[in-house]
Amino acid sequence: MKLRPFIDFLKSVITFRPMDTGADFAEMRYKGLKRTLVFWMSVLTIVPLLVLFTASYYWLQALFHEESRHELAWDIENAKNQIEYFVDVKISALRFLASGHRYDQLSDQQLLARIFAAFKREFGAVVDLGLIDKHGIQQSYTGPYNLQGKDYANQEWFHKAVTRGIYVSDVFLGYRRLPHFAIAVKQDEPDTDTFWILRATIDMETLNRLLSSIKLDDADDAFIISRSGTLQTSSQHHGDVLEQYAVPALLRQRGITILDLKDDAGRPYVFGYAFIKDTSWILSVVEKSGTRTKIAAVFRAEYFAVIAVIVFLILLAAFRMVHVMVNWIRESEEKREEVLREVEHATKLASIGRLAAGVSHEINNPLAIINEKAGLMKDILMLSENNVDREKFLRSVNGILDSVKRARTITHQLLGFARRMDVTPEVLDINDVLTEVVGFLQKETLFRDVQVKQNLGADLPRVKSNRGRLQQVFLNIINNAMDAMEAGGRIEIITDLKDKSTVRARIRDSGRGMDAQTLKHIFDPFFTTKGMTKGTGLGLFISYGIIKKLGGNILVQSEVDKGTTFTVELPVDQPVPTIA
């Protein structure tokens, strides 16, 4: 997963500030925020869920697989038992025959024929019956062939029967070219220290029926092979009787073995086998269909339907929650903006009040002078009757005119200030604004004995900004600088080009500076070091908002007892073209 967009997303949530921008842009940001939130909420909930579902699906399948193997083993065991029982019964019957008759009795062809008839009636599936003496010569025989007197002395089965006592042969094509197998039982005659063998040929039909008791799909197969791989029964897909089957390497093992194998084409299949007692047969099951091992389609469909419903519900919940959340954020942001507007308005009113107080002082002084001069003129006229001191009189008139001029300057300045309180953006020269502000504060600086040094950069590009707002900010910063200083302090105002798209104004004072703790909160609303009566704690907060709104930046550096530098950065109207 890419981490980058997630980190960006977190950043965007933390620094989310729609009030910085216009309403349309804020709306877009809300939409974007909604999208990202929905996306990540969905990813963070659905992905683990899907992992869980997938894991449990595979776990279930493994369980199914295991279960199906048990089932298969059970079927094989069942078939094996039946086949063993079938063979066992035939062997027991032959032994019973052998132990219940003497050699000379069985040598009688007619008696043997009667016994064969009874045997066939009781046990069925028997094709013929023969008696072979210790030299391998068939003494008597009853069945479809004329085999009396046939010599078996050199045949393998004879030797095996002699050594083992019981022998069950592999399958061969016998009477009517049908598959058969033979059972031979050796009977010892301890009195005469000799032996003889009773041999019966059995039809494979019954075994084929027993094999079909294993529940299988069309693609699957159940058959018997000899240890050398010769098919003992016909199979669906692996050849007919006596054909060769490519046996996977088998180990002699008791019980039932189930193997997971792959065929030549690489397809997986299950191979189960069991050895049949007293024979060389191996009961084999090849399961290629996988029907047993697969989870039922109905169950699978239900499973996926449940997942789909849950995912849908999660998405629905995510959408709903994000909608509510973003709306909540939007409402609180709007409320905050509303409060900020009110606060800004209140500070504006407060500053107007301060302005009014300052202005009345500045007007009252010339008025007082006019008052006294005019009064003096009246005094002169009243007291000196006819010989008026023209000189003195003229001085007073000039004094009055000077004072009127002084008052007029102030009122004109005030008008200019009021006009600049509107908020329409304009292209302006930052130096002009600073000069105006300094001019406005001239009386104040003189009064406080603060020296203001202006170091304004020449040919600075103009900035797109707002004169009134900018005046407000600089007035604020310079006022703060003066408040931070004793008489005899210095304020330096420097303007220059920070880079080709930013004009920078620095206001450096020699005041008492601030510690790190104060610096941290300097732009916080209602934070003031001036005490409740003097400062509202809103000046720099509002200034910060204004500069941000104007697309600029306001920074502060300070050192205790050395002074403070405020830096205001504003974007230029058009970037300065680079000189080639």
3-state helix/strand/coil string of 514-572: CCHHHHHHCCCCCCCCCCCCCCCCCHHHHHHHHHHHCCCEEEEEEECCCEEEEEEEEEE
The number of residues in the chain equals 580
Q: How many CB atoms lie within 10 A of CB 338?
A: 10
User: Minimum Å distance from CB 490 to other proteins?
Assistant: 17
The dihedrals phi and psi of 391, each to the nearest 5 degrees, come to -55, -50
Cα 445 to Cα 330, 352, 473, 478, 529, distances in angstroms = 45, 20, 17, 10, 21
Sequential DSSP letters for 31-93 = HHHHHHHHHHHHHHHHHHHHHHHHHHHHHHHHHHHHHHHHHHHHHHHHHHHHHHHHHHHHHHH
The residues pairing with 268 across neighbouring beta strands, listed in sequence order, are: 262
Give the relative orientation of helices 467-483 and 539-549 as an angle to the nearest 10 degrees: 150
Residue 500's φ and ψ, nearest 5 degrees, are -70, -10
Q: How far is the CB of 563 from other proteins (least distance, A)?
A: 22
Cβ-based neighbours of 84, under 8 Å, separated by 6 or more? 276, 277, 278
Task: Report the SS3 class of residue 271.
Answer: strand
Binding site for other proteins (CB under 8 A): 357, 360-365, 367-373, 375-376, 379, 383, 396, 399, 402-403, 446-449, 487
Q: How far is CA 424 from the centre of its chain?
A: 48
